[in-house]
Amino acid sequence: MFDDIKCEAKLPDGRVPGGCFQTKSLFCCMDQFTITAAGKLIFHRHQYETDGEREVRSGVTRPEHKLVHMEDIDMDYHGDIRFYGPTLEDHLVEYVARFTHGTLEWIRPYETLSETHKMWFYAKD
């Protein structure tokens, strides 16, 4: 599993901010986060609510659900987050965002990190 992360902060390679990425550095529950232009990590808390029923075949129905936004939470995050997504040319791009006491310190391309730094992430290359 993974979480979605929208990055509104400036990216190091000139890519336009606002892109959507995936990360396995957070909850891994298909949750939604934003790195704001102001350098905060925001968790968008949602819950599912019943939204009627849908007939899947004659005489058989199943409940429908909708995602309802509950609140935005400043995570006051401290640590590194590795996130990745496709480029316009369909290549994979990976970044690491460092947060110190709740504020974004920097975002760097993953491949520019030292081998020692890369070893701290759970995912194996």
Domains identified in the chain, total number: 1
User: Is 125 among the domain residues?
Assistant: no
Model pLDDT, residue 15: 76
Model pLDDT, residue 122: 62
Of 113, 115, 79, 76, give the one whose Cα is nearest residue 94.
113
User: Is 72 among the domain residues?
Assistant: yes
Model pLDDT, residue 124: 45
User: Is 89 among the domain residues?
Assistant: yes
10-residue mean pLDDT series, the chain (125 residues): 94 81 94 97 94 90 91 97 86 93 96 85 55
Model pLDDT, residue 125: 44
Could you list the residue range(s) of the whole structural domain that residue 51 is in?
3-118
State how far the Cα of 35 lies from the Cα of 71, in Å rounded to an integer. Answer: 16
User: Is 54 among the domain residues?
Assistant: yes
Contact criterion met (CB below 8 Å) for 120 and 96: no
